[in-house]
Amino acid sequence: MQNLQGNSGEEELIRLLLKRQTELNSLLEITRAINKNASTPDLIRMLEVILQRYLQVGKFRFLIEKEGVYSCISKYGGQIERANVLNNTWKHLSKLKAPSALNNHSDPILGTYNYFIPIYHKNKALAYALIGDFNTSGEMLNNDLTFIQTLINVIVVALENKRLFRERLQTERLTREMELAVEVQNMLIPMRVYKENGVEVGAKYLPHQTIGGDYFDFIRLNEDEFLWCIADVSGKGISAALLMANFQASLQGLAAIEDDLTTIIERLNKLVIQNTKGERFITMFLARFNQKTRKLNYVNAGHNPTILYCQGEAVPLKLGTTMIGAFEELPFLNEGEIDIEPDSLFFNYTDGLMDHELQNYEAWSEEKLLEFVIENGELSPDNFNNAMMEHINNVIKGKPIDDITLLAVKIT
């Protein structure tokens, strides 16, 4: 009899050692796969194989938390529940901090499982598993549940590291994208002050925390004529900056061969439609001045009206069309023509000048802007822009919600 008991004890010890060896091998396999950056589906499949083949777990559900919602990422065995039914089981389990028996649980879904296994990190629930059709009992039960918890915890940590790695790559990509956008933006707006006989230009650009698509340009066409524009593309980041870079190249090319502003605007509209398929649009003000005839032709394409200051009066220039890139054919297009008196100032700006976090409409509005232009229209372009920004800082306490671009052109 003692012999039989001795043999039984040895067999049990051998079985336990073999089981522990199997557990260690399983953990080693999972660890190697993680180190080789195995995909999430591969890791989940390995987990399922270990549970089914080595531990004889007949029914398994593995749910992981994301933004307060638990989603099932692994399931086998038994009747598969609807996703929302499984997600709702957490409210019955949230108070359980350790592996717990679920037999005869009051919830009809949870009552079909044997055990609940939670995964916590710093008191935050990351995931949990439901184990069913699992017949281990006695001394081996605690060992098996602990091993399953360890195994799942390793998988959860690996998935969390994958997520953090993806987020880091995304952050690095966005950082690089913003750097490229800044480089493109700087190429689009290199000029700050420009002065020659008969014309002086002052420009100021104040970037927001996100890179937008503001753009301005001053182009000497020939001995008698020059052209200028200010524009703003919808959206942010490198895609907006690249679209505006393409737009700048197209405008400069068209300005060199076309005399008619209407034709330039129509062709620009077609180019933007081709490039963006109607998903982005551009507002712009485009003007051409002949220093001999002193005639100014302009088109306002859905942009904030440029303000003309002359002899104590300020007039917004609104004639034109709708924004570029919104329609395959512009619904209307009107070109303005004005005779320009000496010492006239044109103030061009993007909508960031008017939009702030804490907008005070009594202190700042388009009417107040016209008043400011009348009071300061005799200043040089650069001094005018500086005075404008000083005024904004004093009048409005909130920060701008977009890029601000100011372009002042004085014709003498």
In sequence order, the 6+-apart residues with CB closer than 8 A to the CB of 4 are none
Angle between helices 139-188 and 40-49 (to 10 degrees): 180
4 pLDDT exceeds 50?
A: no
Instruction: Tell me the C-alpha to C-alpha distance, in Å, between residue 268 and each of 78, 228, 255.
Output: 63, 15, 11
213 — pLDDT class (breaks 50, 70, 90): confident
Query: Which domains does the chain carry?
Result: 11-167 (3.30.450.40), 189-411 (3.60.40.10)
pLDDT over 80 (residue 235): no
Reply yes or no on whether the pLDDT at 399 is more than 70: no
> How high is the mean pLDDT of the chain?
85
pLDDT at 210 over 60: no
User: What per-residue confidence (pLDDT) applies to 311?
Assistant: 92
d(CA 225, CA 187): 24
pLDDT in tens, 68-102: 888 899 999 998 888 778 878 888 888 888 899 99
Of 215, 208, 240, 325, give the one whose Cα is nearest residue 277: 325
CA–CA dist 222, 288 (Å, integer): 11
Q: What is the pTM of this model?
A: 0.60
The band of 140, judged by pLDDT with boundaries at 50, 70 and 90, is: confident
pLDDT band for position 355 (50/70/90)?
A: confident
Residue whose structure tokens are 């404008």: 388
Distance CA 185, CA 162 (A): 34
Nearest to 349 by CA among 251, 231, 191, 188: 231
For residues 59 and 297, give the distance between their C-alpha atoms in angstroms, rounded to a whole number.
78
